């Protein structure tokens, strides 16, 4: 009976010992194997830990190591410098299961969100990670390319908007010049064309403002005509024509030399157009239509005469003088009538 109790006591002691031997492998045994470093979800280096040496597969270097268990259930692995035999810290951590080492320090410095994960096949794991990295990089390249294309498209759209605004401003400035010069009919026509080209809301207020200015100028001109002040308009343009004559004479200390007066064709042509614009706004419609036919005939004859004289030294002089005489003719005979 006593012998049976002794065997029972020995059996009860052996059970936890055998259990610990089966399930509680030492840190030295558990750490042996292949591992990959993972930090913030990204794979880093691959290492192989043997019984005496540690191999960094990513950098193809190896060294002997020392494993030291601490009192806080962590362990420290130090690598031995092959040149002087002095150990230096590699990492410190603790096991979370047999296949995961939670890192607390790396190279002696605290580290967060980092671990070593056991791998069964180093080559397959590296190939899989390399493929995943290539796919991630390809996604980044595609995203960067898409972003670049979007930026280019946006820049082109902004450039188109800038060009459109410049075109609108240039056309608006010319219309304002026509209003200032009293060429209200031409200003009205150009404003109509501008409104057909620029229909977005942002331009409508400017178009309306210019239209109001034209209508206001027309009303003021009508009031002047009704009050008998048309002679002032005639005097204004006679004065402009005389000022142009005087300016040319001052430049040359007298009449412009032969072959030089033609340089002022654009000036006289501009004044003629201003006079024509005023006539278009002030004359009764039926009278203006008759004058318009006469003007067309005059332009045809002027151009024909110039073609015949082309090549002669004073051909452009004569063209300029013809334009000057027509300007005075329209002012004297139709403005204020």
230 in Cβ contact with 282 (< 8 Å): yes
Q: At what angle do helices 230-252 and 265-282 cross, to 10 degrees?
A: 180
The answer on 244 and 188 residing in a single domain is: no
Q: Please choose, from the candidates 114, 106, 116, 1, the residue with its C-alpha nearest in 3D space to the C-alpha of residue 48.
A: 116
Q: Is 4 a member of any domain?
A: no
Q: Which two tokens stand for residue 94?
A: 């603790």
- Per-residue model confidence as pLDDT tens digits over 162-207: 888 899 899 999 999 888 877 777 788 888 998 888 888 888 889 8
Q: Which of 71, 89, 120 is the last residue of a domain?
A: 120
The answer on 125 and 221 residing in a single domain is: yes
Whether residue 71 has pLDDT greater than 80: no
42 three-state secondary structure: strand
Task: State residue 54's pLDDT score.
Answer: 94
The answer on 250 and 158 residing in a single domain is: no
Mean pLDDT, range 285-305, rounded to an integer: 94
Q: Which of 120, 150, 177 is the last residue of a domain?
A: 120
The answer on 186 and 157 residing in a single domain is: yes
Q: Is 224 exposed, middle or buried (0-12, 13-18, 19+ CB in 10 A)?
A: middle
- Per-residue model confidence as pLDDT tens digits over 27-36: 999 999 999 9
66 in Cβ contact with 78 (< 8 Å): yes
The answer on 292 and 235 residing in a single domain is: yes
Task: State residue 182's pLDDT score.
Answer: 75
Q: Which two tokens stand for residue 202?
A: 């942002």
Q: Is 191 a member of any domain?
A: yes
The answer on 116 and 132 residing in a single domain is: no
- Residue 21 has, within 13 A of its CA and on its CB side, a CA count of 6
Q: Which of 168, 200, 227 is the last residue of a domain?
A: 227
Q: Is 3 a member of any domain?
A: no
Q: Please choose, from the candidates 121, 18, 28, 125, the residue with its C-alpha nearest in 3D space to the C-alpha of residue 67.
A: 28
The answer on 320 and 234 residing in a single domain is: yes
Task: State residue 24's pLDDT score.
Answer: 55
The answer on 83 and 31 residing in a single domain is: yes
Q: Please choose, from the candidates 316, 309, 245, 234, the residue with its C-alpha nearest in 3D space to the C-alpha of residue 275.
A: 234
Measuring CA to CA, how many Å separate 37 from each of 53, 56, 101, 201?
A: 18, 11, 9, 60
The answer on 84 and 36 residing in a single domain is: yes
- Residue listed under structure tokens 């005389």: 242
Concatenate the DSSP letters of all residues of 147-159 into one string: HHHHHHHHHHHHH
Q: Is 6 a member of any domain?
A: no
Q: Is 12 a member of any domain?
A: no
Highest mean pLDDT among 35-44, 171-180, 216-225, 317-326: 317-326
The answer on 205 and 163 residing in a single domain is: yes
Q: Could you tell me the residue range of the domain that residue 107 belongs to?
A: 27-120
Q: How far apart are the first and last CA of the chain?
A: 152
Q: Which two tokens stand for residue 44?
A: 């880093």
Q: Which of 75-89, 156-170, 317-331 has the lowest mean pLDDT?
A: 156-170
Question: Could you tell me the CATH number of the domain that includes residue 47?
Answer: 2.40.128.570
Report how many domains make up the chain: 3
Q: Is 10 a member of any domain?
A: no
Mean pLDDT, range 259-267, rounded to an integer: 93
Q: Please choose, from the candidates 194, 186, 193, the residue with its C-alpha nearest in 3D space to the C-alpha of residue 169.
A: 194
């Amino acid at each position: 009976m006593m012998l049976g109790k002794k065997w029972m006591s020995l059996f009860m002691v052996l059970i936890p010992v055998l259990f610990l031997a089966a399930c509680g492998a030492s840190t030295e045994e558990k750490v042996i194997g292949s591992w990959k470093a993972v930090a913030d979800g990204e794979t880093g280096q691959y290492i192989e830990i043997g019984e005496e040496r540690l191999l960094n597969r990513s950098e193809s270097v190896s060294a002997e190591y020392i494993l030291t268990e601490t009192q806080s259930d962590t362990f420290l692995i130090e690598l031995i410098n092959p040149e002087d035999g002095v150990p230096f810290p590699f990492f410190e951590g603790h096991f979370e299961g047999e296949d995961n080492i939670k890192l607390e320090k790396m190279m002696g410095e605290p580290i967060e969100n980092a671990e070593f994960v056991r791998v069964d096949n180093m080559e397959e794991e590296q190939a899989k990670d390399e493929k995943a990295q290539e796919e991630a990089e390809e996604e980044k390249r595609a995203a960067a390319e898409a972003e670049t294309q979007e930026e280019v498209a946006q820049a082109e759209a902004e450039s188109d908007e800038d060009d459109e605004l410049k075109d609108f401003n240039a056309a608006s400035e010319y219309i304002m010049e026509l209003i200032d010069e009293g060429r209200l009919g031409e200003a009205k026509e150009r404003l109509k064309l501008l409104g057909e080209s620029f229909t977005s809301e942002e331009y409508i207020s400017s178009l309306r403002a210019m239209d109001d200015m034209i209508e206001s100028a027309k009303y003021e001109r009508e009031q002047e005509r009704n009050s008998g002040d048309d002679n002032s308009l005639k005097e204004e343009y006679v004065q402009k024509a005389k000022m142009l004559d005087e300016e040319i004479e001052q430049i040359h200390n007298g009449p412009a030399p032969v072959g030089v007066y033609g340089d002022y064709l654009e000036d006289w042509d501009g004044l003629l157009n201003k006079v024509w614009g005023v006539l278009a706004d002030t004359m009764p419609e039926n009278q203006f239509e008759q004058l318009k036919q006469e003007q067309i005939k005059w332009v045809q004859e002027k151009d024909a005469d110039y073609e015949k004289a082309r090549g002669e030294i004073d051909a452009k002089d004569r063209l300029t003088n013809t334009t000057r005489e027509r300007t005075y003719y329209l002012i004297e005979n139709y403005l204020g009538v």
